[in-house]
Chain A
Amino acid sequence: MDTVTESQRTLYPYVTGSSVVAIKYKDGILMAADMGGSYGSTLRYKSVERLKPIGKHSLLGASGEISDFQEIMRYLDELILIDNMWDDGNSLGPKEVHNYLTRVMYNRRNKFNPLWNSLVLGGVKKGQKYLGTVSMIGVNYEDNHVATGLGNHLARPILRDEWNENLTFEEGVKLLEKCMRVLLYRDRSAVNKIQISKITEEGATVYPPFSLKTYWEFSAFKNPTVGAEVHGSLLVVNEMKQNFTWISA
């Protein structure tokens, strides 16, 4: 008797990328991600590019399973190729690419075989800036600033406070770096090798990788147990005054 093979389903990811953070700024979109590929709790790969230009008008950032991201890149390469082959002067903009990705992710989810990624799609076409995100279950939306994974919890609050429509390139980069630094402090799977990319009407640029300085010189870090000394058999805890300041480069 022939047995029916159970339809395939991805149960869990193996090699994963951590958060992506992106913002709209004056001239277009700025996007940042680190270059880590984690294998469970091991920080196994440290030079994985997770930000890629798509066609002339878009940038894709991905977190989650890297093999699925590599497959998505193959789908998009084919999509862009066919778009170019029409040779009709038209080219897929970020809105269209985002829609395509949403359909792909949602339909895979419906078959219980998701592409295990959270994607950020940003771009500029005819002066219109676009920034959207799609999750592995097909949840999609646009906003002035988006993030994936832990970035939603750590970076978005900073962006809600400090983002504005008229950020210059320098201000935008500093803001993204602030977010990436927090992720470096507080996300176990973050790696200190970061790529920032931008897309404007002129085109996409992925900047070379760099590392961020981190700050550890708080007195409370150097002497964490000051004020909690033991006197005889009594534990005396004094009120500790602590000063915190944001340190940005």
Chain B
Amino acid sequence: MDKVDFNAPHSMGTTIIGVTYNGGVVLGADSRTSTGVYVANRASDKITQLTDNVYVCRSGSAADSQVVSDYVRYFLHQHTIQLGQPATVKVAANLVRLLAYNNKNNLQTGLIVGGWDKYEGGQIYGVPLGGTIVQQPFAIGGSGSSYLYGFFDQAWKDGMTKDEAEDLVKKAVSLAIARDGASGGVVRTVIINSEGVTRNFYPGDQLPIWHDELEAHNSLLDILGAPEPMNI
């Protein structure tokens, strides 16, 4: 058996994306959770709420990302009560960073924090393995993101509208799903702006068809044009 290289950065099953647009942010993710080769959950929700106005995209270990989100949600809740107003995206992201950094030896999760606040508008923060915090106009993460670096280098533009941003996210997650075995299922998006939060759900039939893919049908028989067998 080949020895596993523990020193290489671990690629993580998932595709997650966060994109800012003029007015807010769009977060996107696939929905596949795998244990080894088995798909444990084909419709998971990887975009988790931290506060009314801040969400996080989770990748890597499901357990680690869930427990980090739970702690951050708890701290942010207290912080909001004490502060008397909604927490800022920066505070949420830094709390995530604190947990990720101080437990770096025991955690294996890469996170993308995105949200909207009245001071800085829409913001995206990446918190990769190790607990670095990086604010970016857009962020990609998870094993599926390897296939998207070139795509975003070419397709990303500053000052997009909400619809352009959501289309970009949908397209990107869908492209990653096409090539990454650890990503799959449906595309979920969450749009956050001054007006609030909108959740969307896009199953395969609502996504574009890429190279070497075929349109889906119920049966070969539909294509052949033969009369359908009777249903009794």
- B101 and A65 contact, CB distance less than 8 A: no
Bound Cα distance A66, B133 (Å): 9
Complex Cα spacing A15 to B132, Å: 7
Report how far A140 CA is from B182 CA in the complex, Å.
45
User: Given A15-B130, A37-B132, A39-B9, are A71 and B101 neighbors across the interface (CB < 8 Å)?
Assistant: yes
Contact flags (1/0) for A55-77 with B, using CB distance below 8 Å? 00000000001110011000000
Is B104 among interface residues, defined by CB-CB distance under 8 A?
Answer: yes
In the complex, which residue of chain A has the Cβ closest to the Cβ of B149?
A42
A12 at the interface (CB under 8 A from B): yes
Is there an interface contact between B134 and A14, defined as CB atoms closer than 8 Å?
no
Contact among B7, B105, B128, B131 for A39, CB-based, below 8 A: B128
Q: How far is the CB of B152 from chain A (nearest CB, A)?
A: 12
Are A14 and B129 interface neighbours, CB within 8 A?
Answer: yes
Q: Which residues of A contact B129 (CB under 8 A)?
A: 14-15
Name the residue among A10, A45, A67, A70 with the largest chain B CB count within 10 angstroms.
Answer: A67
A110 interfacial contact with B, CB 8 Å: no
A70 near B8 with CB under 8 A, answer no
Shortest CB-to-CB span from B98 to chain A, Å, is 10
Give the Cβ gap from A195 to chain B, nearest Cβ, in Å.
16
Known contacts A39-B9, A40-B8, A40-B9; decide if A66 and B105 are in contact (CB<8 Å). Answer: no
Where chain B touches its partner, the secondary structure class is loop
Q: Report whether A67 and B131 are in contact in the complex, using a CB–CB cutoff of 8 Å.
A: yes
| Contact residues in A for B134 (Cβ distance below 8 Å) | 37, 45, 48, 66
Q: Which residues of A contact B136 (CB under 8 A)?
A: 45, 47
- A39 proximity list for chain B (CB < 8 A): 9, 128
Task: Check if A14 sits within 8 Å of B128, measured CB to CB.
Answer: yes
How many B residues have CB within 8 A of the partner chain? 18
Q: Which of A10, A37, A44, A67 contacts B105 (CB 8 A)?
A: A10
Q: When the two chains form their complex, are residues A67 and B8 in contact, meaning their CB atoms are under 8 A apart?
A: no
Task: Name the interface residues of B104-142: CB closer than 8 Å to any CB of A.
Answer: 104-105, 126, 128-134, 136
Q: Is the CB of B105 within 8 A of A15?
A: no
A2-20 interface with B by 8 A CB criterion: 8-15
With a cutoff of 8 Å between Cβ atoms, the chain A residues found around residue B126 in the complex are 45
With the chains together, A15 CA to B126 CA distance in Å?
A: 12
Task: Give every chain B residue within 8 A of A48 (Cβ-Cβ).
Answer: 134
Query: Given the known A-B contacts A9-B105, A11-B105, are A66 and B9 also in contact in the complex, defined by CB atoms under 8 Å?
Result: no
Q: Which residues does chain B contribute within 8 Å of A66, judged by CB atoms?
A: 130, 132, 134
Q: Is the CB of A8 within 8 A of B130?
A: no
Contacts of B9 in A (CB 8 A): 14, 39-40
Are B104 and A10 in touch, CB under 8 angstroms? yes
Question: How far is B128's CA from A65's CA once the two chains are assembled, in angstroms?
Answer: 12
Give A14 to B133 CA distance when docked, in angstroms.
Answer: 12
**Given contacts A8-B105, A9-B105, A11-B105, is CB(A70)–CB(B133) below 8 Å?**
yes
Interface residues of A (CB under 8 A from B): 8-15, 37, 39-40, 42, 44-45, 47-48, 65-67, 70-71
User: With contacts A10-B104, A40-B9 known, what are 19 further pairs, Cβ within 8 A?
Assistant: A11-B7, A14-B132, A15-B129, A15-B130, A37-B132, A39-B128, A40-B8, A42-B146, A44-B128, A47-B136, A65-B130, A65-B132, A67-B101, A67-B130, A67-B133, A70-B97, A70-B132, A70-B133, A71-B101
10 sample A-B contacts, Cβ–Cβ < 8 Å, listed by A number: A9-B105, A10-B104, A14-B128, A14-B130, A15-B130, A15-B132, A39-B9, A44-B128, A65-B130, A67-B104
